[in-house]
Amino acid sequence: PDFLPALENTQLVSDMCNVELDFGQSHLPKYPTPNNMDADEYLAQLCEEGFRRLYPHPTAEARERLKYELEVIRHTQFANYFLVVWDIIDFVRKNNIVYGVRGSAAASVALYTLGITEVEPLEYRLVFERFLNMERKEMPDIDLDFQDDRRDEVLHYVINRYGNDKVAQIITFGTMGAKAALRDVGRALGMGYGDVDRIAKMVPLKARTLDDALRVSPELKAAYDQEPAVNKLVDNAQGLEGIVHHVSTHAAGVLIADEPLTDTVPLQRPAKGDENSPVLMTQYSMEPVAHLGLLKMDFLGLTNLTILDRAVKLIKENHGVDIDLQTLDLDDKSTYELLSSGDTNDLFQLESAGMQRYIKALKPSNLGDIAAMIALYRPGPMENIETFIDAKHGRKPISFPHPSLEELLKETYGVIVYQDQVLLILQQFAGYSLGAADIVRKAMGKKIASLMAEERVNFVNGATAKGYDENVAGEIFDLIEPFAGYAFNKAHSVSYGLISYWTAYFKNHYPVEYMAAVLNSRLDNPEKTLASMNECFRLKIPILLPNINRSEEYFCIDHETSDQRSDGPEEEALSGPGLRIGLAAIKSVGESAVRPLVADRKKNGQYKSIDDFSRRTGATGLNRRTLESLAKAGAFDSLSPRGAVIQALDQITATAQREARTRDSGQSSMFDGNEAISESAGMSGITLDAPDASDQEKAAWERELLGMTLSHNPLIALAAMNIDGVFTSLDRMTEDPSGQPINVLGFISSIIERNTREGKRFFIVNLEVMGGILEVMVWPDTLLRTTEVWQDGRLVMITGRLRTRGDQTSLSCDSAIEFDPENPFMPPPAPISPRNGYSGNGNGNGSRIAKNNKSDGKKTTDNNISEKKAQMTSSYNTSEEPQKVVRLAVTESADPSHDAHLLREVIGVLLEYPGRDRVNLDIRTGERLVRMDLPVVSTSYSEGLHSRLEELLGSDTVSVHQELDLGMDTLEESPPSTMALESTSEQKPKPTPLVTDLPFTEDSLMKPEESQVTVPPNIGVSATVGTGDTKDEPPF
């Protein structure tokens, strides 16, 4: 080599380097105890003080539990950790910051006596070893939730207390996804934005990689195969997928150390922080940080805690009542009645449609019931919900795996719900220590076969040593093994159940204050804001237009409700206080722009006119666009007609800017303070003589800026038109037992786009009708035919079938057209059965069948259905003998995923026997029997088919009838059985509401005049029987 000395020096430097990372040492922060007292002694002193306060008449069990926990803490050397958390919570309590504790920490009596947790562990039989034990090698987690608008206060306290060089947030690495890789590569290749955007939009939302996208998106696959430029783009993009694209700050992770963090971990400035921020960020992610022995804590901002804090303050302001969450009565009967009604929209952990259904069936009577439902409502445990509910109400006998386990499982009616129960079973049945049992529980969750075989032997040996039969011991182990994988942390369930109860209490006793807090927490999410506004209408709480003289920056309680909307001439105005929309809640209006307006009004009195407003407002942040949004939303309606204000916007903006410049220069006008002159339009040059906007224009503006119409509901005028066969009111719609479609007229309020597993688009449309919002499901086949119809704010006529489960109603769209009131074009009215039809009335909910359709006795069938049926049957070589009708009897269960799984199996069997015989389903749903035709599924009846179907559905569930020219003659008169689906199939369905590939969709599956029971919306994609409640748990 040319430079040998350089190489030798390089080697010398390398030899001198010696870095060893110590993974076996912890770096816990040291709490500054009084007089340098030993941390364990100070912790014991604090716990004893709290114990005397919380346990005035302590039991021997409670005292022994605290003594044991303190001994474990001393042995594991975590006293400083507990003291640091106590110090943080002490600050939080003194500053009235609402907080909660997640995870297993609530199982500790020591933390309870320190005031860190609110749940009494012994009352709920929480296992301390699930949190901390002698055998545990890793640090326990004390995860803290704070109201999200004050989380930064806590973080800055910790930094100031322990030093900014010893506290940091944890980094996360964002990797490049499929669409981002395509866009970045497209830019590098110099491709046009439109060309790249076209390809990126072909990637389905659910596709994790470009390989997935190519597999499930035929459109993308075709472009890849046929266009060389796209082929090159995709191939290069695949090389970038998964690489780190950017860094950000972990939502909750915070490090606290006993020495400068730079001694242990590299640091950097936060990705979005300024150079003066005291908050640093690690360059190691979560797992490496934990291996280095650093104390990692979770400081999570929780919106629901912010809601509770705001509700407490509003109640104090409006009722003069001080509410302390920690002392709130947990046995309030009316609160449990609210939960039992299923009206749990906007309640923590309980607002999904499925949870509403189950909580209504459960009818919780205590906090333990709420906690159990939170634990059960997840994939896996969900299959035990019905058993749990039926056992609670005595409809099913409580059974235990073994009599000795009755004491452990009686609180959950024989169902293993919690991880704590798994630990106690291992302890009681096989003699494990609770610490060792927790290690076994974790191993079970990882499902390592060799470990499980070894532990099975240990369990059986331990059980036999305690006198149990070897076979029984093996059966018990086989029972608890799957439960250990998905059983839930009981302490976490109880802690979150407590927050759920608090939210229910406030919604029950102080609905106006609670809903105001909810709405103000959701302003950044228009969909949720709209849903909460509709919940207010359901609760008879008026939602009021923004008003420059009455609105705050955000939603506020207003007792002046004379300007509320009425949804019909016969409907009385809602009484009581309403919620006034805040000025900053208007789309495109920022808080910084309206805060000075509200402050000026509070200081100097209400604005008397548009001229007065223009002269008093500052121009900073209040541009023409902001003024236009305020005007169109109705904020100036109390000062001048809306149309006139909008026409004068240029003058208002100019006047505001001129007045602001004058004030800034220190000059004043000779007319300042002269009210008479200030009311004159001539002095400012603002003229307000333009005509007012039409009701339709106002409605369109409000829908755009507020999410719904509040000053005028155009559906009222439509209702007066008395259109035959058309529904315009939510409360008039009923689920027609005959399954016939109905016509619904309404305004599109919002459109949510989703993708099926195959990458096909479907829409969830919120349709505004009189009385609220109707959810409309537009499945892929229908969407292809109606794509141009779906635009926000458009008045549409939709034909489809209603589906109702509990209080949840949705419409499955078959067809849709834009509706013009001036030149109405009516589709053929849906044939409504006389017993369910409504005569036309002033509310516009008539459903009389149009005269021009009454004489047509034929069934109206979608051309698409005919085409698909022809496609599926054209290849069958069948004889011309009269067709048969195969009728199958099934009973709808409470588990849609089970129903969908079974239906998929049935259809699969039917398709194995190709032929021309029709198929009917007799579905028993509740107390009603619904007959549903499957027009695209034809089969060939035989004894083999009969046997295969009865294997799936049970005996006496299959009958066959002869179809003649105009009717059907029964071949055999065996009445359909209503055997429950749960008991008919030996194979347990997976706990997911997804169905795999079959070649047709919901649009082609049912005839329009048939069933009310929603068949899987795209059975070849992913859906369930009865997908009416796809609100926040869509079947994909």
pLDDT tens profile 486-540: 778 899 999 999 999 999 999 999 999 999 999 999 988 887 888 898 888 888 8
pLDDT tens profile 341-352: 989 999 999 988
Nearest CA to 898 among 984, 804, 807?
984
pLDDT tens profile 583-634: 999 988 888 889 989 998 999 899 999 888 888 876 555 788 899 999 999 9
**pLDDT given at position 774:** 87
Sequence-distant (≥ 6) Cβ neighbours of residue 67 within 8 angstroms: none
**pLDDT given at position 332:** 94
**pLDDT given at position 508:** 95
Nearest CA to 889 among 975, 973, 791, 810?
975
- Kindly list the structural domains of the chain, giving each domain's residue range(s) and its CATH number in brackets, ordered by start: 34-173+251-303 (3.30.1900.20), 177-242 (1.10.10.1600), 324-504 (no CATH), 522-698 (no CATH), 713-854 (2.40.50.140), 863-1005 (no CATH)
Letter for the amino acid at 142? I
Quick one: angle between helices 367-376 and 385-392, nearest 10?
Answer: 160
**pLDDT given at position 233:** 92
Supply the mean pLDDT for the chain: 79
Joined together, the tokens standing for residue 142 give 């004390």
Residue 139 has pLDDT above 60, yes or no: yes
pLDDT tens profile 13-34: 998 888 777 776 777 888 999 9
Distance from C-alpha of 422 to C-alpha of 403, rounded to nearest angstrom: 16
Place of tokens 């037992």: 737
Q: Of residues 5 and 855, which shows the higher confidence score?
A: 5
Residue 380 has pLDDT above 80, yes or no: no
Residue 841 has pLDDT above 90, yes or no: no
Distance from C-alpha of 512 to C-alpha of 124, rounded to nearest angstrom: 33
Query: Which range, 373-382, 510-519, 682-691, 788-797, is most confident?
Result: 510-519
Distance from C-alpha of 716 to C-alpha of 720, rounded to nearest angstrom: 6
Residue 443 has pLDDT above 50, yes or no: yes
**pLDDT given at position 697:** 86
Mean pLDDT of 925-938: 66
Q: Of residues 79 and 677, which shows the higher confidence score?
A: 79
Place of tokens 């009616």: 413
Please state whether the predicted TM-score (pTM) of the whole model is above 0.75.
no
pLDDT tens profile 81-112: 999 999 999 999 999 999 999 888 999 999 99
**pLDDT given at position 808:** 66
Return the percentage of the chain with pLDDT > 70, whole number: 77
Query: Which range, 263-277, 311-325, 461-475, 845-859, is most confident?
Result: 311-325
**Among 387-396, 502-511, 686-695, whose mean pLDDT is lowest?**
686-695
Return the percentage of the chain with pLDDT > 90, whole number: 32
Joined together, the tokens standing for residue 326 give 């920690």
Distance from C-alpha of 235 to C-alpha of 180, rounded to nearest angstrom: 14
Q: Of residues 406 and 850, which shows the higher confidence score?
A: 406
Residue 732 has pLDDT above 90, yes or no: no
Identify the band that residue 866 occupies on the pLDDT scale cut at 50, 70 and 90.
Answer: very low
Residue 56 has pLDDT above 80, yes or no: yes
- Gyration radius of the chain's alpha carbons: 33
Alpha-helix residue ranges (DSSP H) falling in 836-936: 851-854, 863-873, 896-911
**pLDDT given at position 367:** 94
**pLDDT given at position 107:** 93
Q: What are phi and psi of 173, to 5 degrees?
A: -110, 120
**Among 67-76, 360-369, 682-691, 734-743, whose mean pLDDT is lowest?**
734-743
Letter for the amino acid at 638? S
Residue 322 has pLDDT above 50, yes or no: yes
Place of tokens 């562990």: 121
Q: Would you give the distance in Å from CA 501 to the centre of its chain?
A: 18
Q: Number of helices and strands (H, E) in the chain?
A: 40, 21
Mean pLDDT of 444-470: 84
Q: Of residues 618 and 861, which shows the higher confidence score?
A: 618
Mean pLDDT of 355-373: 93
Q: Of residues 964 and 449, which shows the higher confidence score?
A: 449
**pLDDT given at position 113:** 96
Alpha-helix residue ranges (DSSP H) falling in 377-489: 385-392, 406-409, 419-430, 434-446, 449-465, 470-486
**pLDDT given at position 548:** 93
* Residue 690 near residue 648 (C-beta atoms within 8 A): yes
Distance from C-alpha of 785 to C-alpha of 889, rounded to nearest angstrom: 33
Quick one: angle between helices 649-664 and 624-632, nearest 10?
Answer: 130
**Among 515-529, 726-740, 997-1011, whose mean pLDDT is lowest?**
997-1011
Joined together, the tokens standing for residue 1004 give 């082609």
pLDDT tens profile 814-836: 899 988 877 666 654 444 333 33
- For residue 902, count CB atoms less than 10 angstroms from its CB and return exposed for 0-12, middle for 13-18, buried for 19 or more: buried
Residue 195 has pLDDT above 70, yes or no: yes
Residue 276 has pLDDT above 60, yes or no: yes
Mean pLDDT of 173-180: 89
